Amino acid sequence: MRRSRPMKTAATTGPANGARAQRPGGSAASGQWWKAWVLLTSLGATVLGWVAFSTGEPPVESAVVAPDTAPRPTQVAPARHMNELEQTRPLPPSAGMLPAMPQKLVFQAPVTRTRRS
């Protein structure tokens, strides 16, 4: 609903001016130009309004995954970042690095396992 409000305002502004038919010396082309101007103005107002009313939404990359949505053992996908780490080895001078990790750490699989010894 908020997104349509600027469009309504712009649409009612044009006819209220009443300048299109009464303007002296105005050609048909200039009348078309005026219509285009009103249309573009309306469109711009719509876009600006949409952006303004949309700023409250979090950007995708900062979304937080709740801990309880973490995968269960039967659901875990292969440890993507760990696999990548293994595939990129050996990295000089023996330590691997993953610059593409998300800012918020959410493990997708066990890092390692405790096993019989």
CB of 38 to other proteins, least distance (A): 46
CB of 56 to other proteins, least distance (A): 23
* 100 vs 107: CA distance, rounded Å: 14
Question: Would you count residue 106 as binding other proteins (CB under 8 A)?
Answer: yes
**Torsion on CA atoms 71, 75, 81, 84, rounded to nearest 10:** 180
* 79 vs 85: CA distance, rounded Å: 10
* 49 vs 109: CA distance, rounded Å: 42
* 101 vs 98: CA distance, rounded Å: 6
Indicate which single residue of 12, 66, 67, 87 sits in contact with other proteins (rule: CB under 8 A).
67
Indicate which single residue of 27, 55, 69, 117 sits in contact with other proteins (rule: CB under 8 A).
117
The 32-61 contact track toward other proteins, x by CB under 8 A, reads ------------------------------
Give the binding site for other proteins (CB under 8 A). Answer: 67, 70, 72-74, 76-79, 81-82, 85-86, 89, 93-99, 101-107, 109-117
